[in-house]
Amino acid sequence: MGVVLITGANRGIGLELARQMAARGRKVIGTARRPEEAAELQKVAKVIALDVADEASVEGMAREVGDEAVDVLFNNAGVSSKSPKLEVCTKEELTRVLAINSIGPVLVTKALLGNVRKGERKLVVNVTSQLGSIARNEGGSYGYRASKAALNMFTSCMAKEHKDVTFIAMHPGWVQTDMGGKNAPLKVEESVSSMLLALERVGTADSGSFLNFDGTTIPW
């Protein structure tokens, strides 16, 4: 059985994905920018260093994974944005958020596509946000919204280009993490268990979908 690989797995949703997948008996590889600080992740996963915005780091991660089959790839690494309004947007900040939230998952998927093709599920899950939905856009959060909308488009492109792999953009809900804050309605354990249950029902016909954590469809 191949592995489950999770980027940004040292905290929040990524760490809980690693814990729940390990509890299911899966071999887990989790990435972190600073593996030496990922003590909790090391308890349930093999930890590999990765900065998704650094192409050399992505290539190094792929070399360490080697020829191992990857059943499920969770592109989970992401950051929030400091550009809530047009008046405070800067090129530096927008570029930073897009590099991590949008371009990073593309580079990781490109590097590991051969590994995913060797897996049983052949599933790539891009952890996105409903804030990337243009249909539901309420303005603000420029960098974050744009980065997730771009990630959704990348997901659709990959699904149309590679029919042998299933690509899903999945919103984990508003979750009580460092990014989501303590007022979020969902506990991280609830979000992840719901995501994994929904993903059990996902098949090749669903490739390119934009799904909520409960498996329902979110409008583009």
3-state secondary structure the chain: CCEEEECCCCCHHHHHHHHHHHHCCCCEEEEECCHHHCHHHHCCCEEEECCCCCHHHHHHHHHHHCCCCEEEEEECCCCCCCCCCHHHCCHHHHHHHHHHHHHHHHHHHHHHHHHHHHCCCCEEEEECCHHHCCCCCCCCCHHHHHHHHHHHHHHHHHHHHCCCCEEEEEECCCECCCCCCCCCCECHHHHHHHHHHHHHCCCHHHCCEEEECCCCECCC
pLDDT at 1: 57
pLDDT at 182: 80
pLDDT at 79: 96
**Mean pLDDT (10-residue bins), the chain, 220 residues:** 91 97 97 97 98 98 97 97 94 97 98 98 98 96 97 98 98 87 88 98 97 98
The pTM assigned to this predicted structure is 0.96
Fold of the 3-212 domain: Rossmann fold (3.40.50)
pLDDT at 184: 81
Counting every residue, how long is the chain?
220
pLDDT at 42: 98
Rounded (5°) CA angle 75-174-52: 20
144 classed as catalytic: yes
Of 142, 144, 174, 213, which one is the catalytic site residue? 144
